[in-house]
Amino acid sequence: MKLPKNIELAYCTNVHRGSTWEETFHALEKYVLKVKSLVCPNHSFAIGLRLGAKAAKSLIQTQNLTAFQKWLEIKNCYIFTINGFPYGNFHGERVKEQVYQPDWSDQDRLDYSILLFEILENLLQFGDEGSVSTLPASFKEFHPPGEIPKAAYKNLSKCALEIERIEKAKGLDLHLGLEPEPLGSFETTSETLCFFEQLHKEAKNDYLQNVIGVNYDCCHLAVEYEKAKVGLNLLKESGIRLSKIHLSSALRVKPNKENLTFLHSFVEKIYLHQVVVRTEGKILKRYKDLDIALKQESEESGNKGDEWRIHFHIPLHASPEKPLRDTKDHVLETLDWLAENPSACRHLEMETYTWEVLPKDLQSDQVVDQVAREYDWTLKALKNCGLGRENH
């Protein structure tokens, strides 16, 4: 969806199941077109495409790619961004830390990411801008503290050269956004700055800063208790490209006994829900997953902190029941910053992928209706800060 200031908005289709291209395309026809009919029936509709490696290898085949191009034209849809974080399956079975595999030290991750850019190049028009989002190099558990594998830097440098090659043919502006995430190789803005400083030293590639930047996920940085405007200004001042912004909200709670008991309804077996505990304005503890945090805190009598923030993507339009809260204030602050810096980032993507694992009281609608409500909330928020369309 095209917004003022040349900004694009989509929702990420990682909310829908789909490992193969056939499954992915089925979701586009079954769900995405229904969302379009509710949200944007009379205008061209942007799709935030999620493609796993298996689906990407199939779509790149000429007959599939040609058929998809024709489908997009007929349905008045277009692609400007691809989510390339999950390499494999993302629904219905345990994902957890496996979502980081293969990481950027692995040739498979490099090959997959290049493939996504080759697909994107075929789906874009001359002179367009396109983005691919990806993981923050690796997961802290996969390497010694502070020692991100050299191979990750080398592969990202190789990817930058391939992006430069791919974008030239059609005069495109292509970029890869690395996504800071709790317990990823870099998770805070300060760690992100350090990573990119090292990346530029290792890569020795002057063009790299044009094609590799940050995918800023509001949920993730809110879990780290960061102020959006502070972090975004630091990224801007450092010269790191803001590739895409994920509009997403996290779960937050004061950790008394009653509230922690209530949190058990958010424990599930598919995704990681990292927990960051703060006390007196400082980070006290980090937990790999919510069930681990709840178990350990029930067994210990020490300081449970003043607040917990949990990496659980909460619908933008539906706050959880009290005593739980969310971090939509971080999303609104991000949009206010973007209104002040509209040229800093053109790609916005709503990314609430957790519909299937939300507690039942937050699953009141079918997924199409839920996504339509997300659009309604987001478009109102954009309009309030001066970035919205008069009609949509």
Mean pLDDT of the chain: 94
pLDDT digits (tens, 9 = 90+) for 251-290: 999 999 899 998 999 999 999 999 999 999 999 999 999 9
pLDDT of residue 390: 57
Q: Which domains does the chain have, with CATH numbers?
A: 2-249+317-384 (3.20.20.150)
Q: Partners of 175 in the beta sheet? A: 131
Amino acid at 99: V
pLDDT of residue 321: 78
| pLDDT tops 90 at residue 193 | yes
Split at pLDDT 50, 70, 90, the class of 392 is very low
pLDDT digits (tens, 9 = 90+) for 84-124: 999 998 887 888 999 999 999 999 999 999 999 999 999 99
pLDDT of residue 204: 79
| pLDDT tops 50 at residue 249 | yes
> Shortest CA distance to 226 belongs to which of 309, 303, 145?
309
What contacts 122, CB < 8 A, 6 or more positions away? 65, 69
pLDDT digits (tens, 9 = 90+) for 9-36: 999 999 998 999 999 999 999 999 999 9
Q: Rg of the chain over CA atoms, in angstroms?
A: 20
> Shortest CA distance to 272 belongs to which of 290, 298, 296?
290
Helical pair 328-340 and 228-238, crossing angle rounded to 10 deg: 40
CA gap 249, 333 in Å, rounded: 12
User: Three-class SS of residue 184?
Assistant: strand
Number of C-alpha atoms within 13 angstroms, CB side, residue 29? 9
Amino acid at 390: E
pLDDT digits (tens, 9 = 90+) for 296-315: 988 887 888 999 999 999 99
Quickly list H helices, 239-364. Answer: 257-263, 290-299, 328-340
Q: Where are the beta strands (DSSP E) in the chain?
A: 2-3, 7-11, 45-50, 77-83, 129-134, 173-178, 212-217, 242-247, 249-253, 275-279, 282-287, 307-314, 325-326, 347-350
